[in-house]
Structures are given as structure tokens and as C-alpha cells.
Amino acid sequence: MNMLSVRINQQQVRLVLRSNQTARAIADIVPFSATVRRWGQALMFDCPLPVIPAADQPQTELAPGDVAFWSDGSSIILGFGPTPISTGREVRLAHPSTVWADALDDLIAFADVETGSKVEIHLEQSVEIKTASGQ
């Protein structure tokens, strides 16, 4: 399985890539760094994709651990709680976005990150998952 790591300040979260066009496009451009923008309990940062992939099942609400890509803004979104447009505890986005990765670690690790912080994205490793029978 392909994994990336997201590091902001002293915190790091590992991401497992989903099997979609957006995940493949982002994996092809790592490593890169950007500057974080905070929006409620979500962090956004620019993603330098040379070609924006077509949206893979865009949605406006994220489940815990979802990592999304907003194609109109070419931004990655890490949501760990309500945004200014949420009605309750959900992570509601202002624009439909494609979920391209799942966080292995709790995104709440980034709860204290402020706008202007530097984020770094790196290839973590390629891990082979074996079945219970060892095959």
C-alpha cells in the first residue's frame, strides 16, 4: 500500500492512498511543501498539480480520517472537526472535493496548527499487506 506523511510543526500524520485518479496524481508530485490556511477545524494548503484530475465522486462532507482534494482551488483539505458552515460536528466543505486518502493517525493532531504554518508532504513507504495465511 502506498503511504504519504504530512508533517506540520512537530506533528506528523500518515496517509494511505485510495485507489483513484486524484491519489495517483498527488503521489506523482511528492515531495512538496506549502503554507497552511485554517478554516474552522480544517486545514487547507495548495497542491502543485500540473494537471488537475477529474473529480472522483466529489462530496461536501468528510468522514473522520478523510483527506480531500478541492480541484477548483487545487488544495488539499485535512478536516478534523466542524468548519464555519457545519451544522453540528460534521466536517462540511464549502465546495465538492474528492477524498483521495485516509489518515492512519488521528487528524486531531493538527488541532493547534495556525494559518501560516509550513506543511511538508513526503512519500512514507510502500508496505505490503499479507493475508492471515501469510500469502
List the domain boundaries for the chain.
2-126
- Please state, rounded to an integer, the average pLDDT across all residues of the chain: 91
Higher pLDDT, 76 or 126: 76
Written as nine digits, the cell of 24 is 495517483
Residue 25 pLDDT > 80? yes
Determine whether domain 2-126 maps to CATH 2.40.100.20: yes
Residue of 105, 65, 97 lying closest to 81 (CA atoms): 65
**Angle at alpha carbon of residue 16, lines to 12 and 18, rounded to 5°:** 145
Residue 20 has pLDDT above 60, yes or no: yes
Predicted local distance difference test score (pLDDT) of residue 1: 63
Question: Residue 56 has what pLDDT?
Answer: 79
Confidence of residue 57 (pLDDT cuts 50, 70, 90): confident
Rounded distance, CA 132 to CA 22, Å?
30
Confidence of residue 60 (pLDDT cuts 50, 70, 90): very high
- Say how many Å lie between the first and final Cα of the chain, rounded: 15
pLDDT in tens, 101-127: 999 999 999 999 999 999 999 998 655
